């Protein structure tokens, strides 16, 4: 886990709930990407990191999960699910299709953490708020 980060007091946020089904993973990713595009920000790497967290929520919780996007000096994405189980980093085989999510968070997020609660947990990450580059005309 990377060091905890604080988010700006001027952050603006939106959230949406998703059912714990595989089709929710791309919808959660698109939700975050749409929010960042609307703010004029790059969607990378937040899209990939959101997919990792949403996949974990679908795989390890039977309850709906909520995705919150907070945009300020940085971008913070939170995924809240009803499972009390804290994610554990595993050593994935080189050809494994699963088991790399926390490693990806370590590599691409500025910070991330897990916050257990009485009703489940929140897994969050932050990335820089980078303006989206526009195609040249």
pLDDT tens figures, 60-119? 889 999 999 999 999 999 999 999 988 877 776 666 566 677 889 999 999 999 999 999
Spatial distance between the Cα atoms of 105 and 135, rounded to a whole number of angstroms: 29
The H or E element spanning position 34 is: helix 24-38
Q: How many domains does the chain have?
A: 1
Domain membership of residue 59 (yes or no) is yes
**Cβ within 8 Å of residue 37, ≥6 positions away:** 43, 132
Average pLDDT, the chain: 87
The DSSP secondary-structure symbol of 3 reads P
Domain membership of residue 1 (yes or no) is no
Domain membership of residue 137 (yes or no) is no
List the domain range (segments joined by +) for residue 75: 12-128
Output the domain CATH number for residue 87: 3.30.565.10
Domain membership of residue 2 (yes or no) is no
């Amino acid at each position: 886990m990377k060091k905890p980060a604080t988010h700006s007091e001027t952050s603006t946020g939106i959230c949406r709930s998703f059912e714990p089904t595989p089709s929710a993973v791309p919808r959660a990713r698109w939700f975050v990407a749409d929010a960042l595009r609307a703010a004029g920000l790059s969607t990378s790497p937040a899209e990939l990191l959101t997919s990792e967290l949403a996949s974990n929520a679908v795989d390890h919780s039977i309850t709906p999960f909520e995705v919150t996007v907070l945009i300020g000096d940085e971008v913070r994405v939170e995924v809240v699910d009803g499972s009390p189980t804290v994610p554990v980093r595993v050593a994935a085989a080189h050809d494994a299709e699963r088991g790399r999510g926390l490693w990806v968070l370590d590599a691409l997020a500025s910070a991330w953490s897990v916050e257990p609660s009485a009703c489940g947990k929140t897994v969050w990450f932050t990335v820089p708020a980078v303006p989206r580059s526009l195609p040249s005309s």
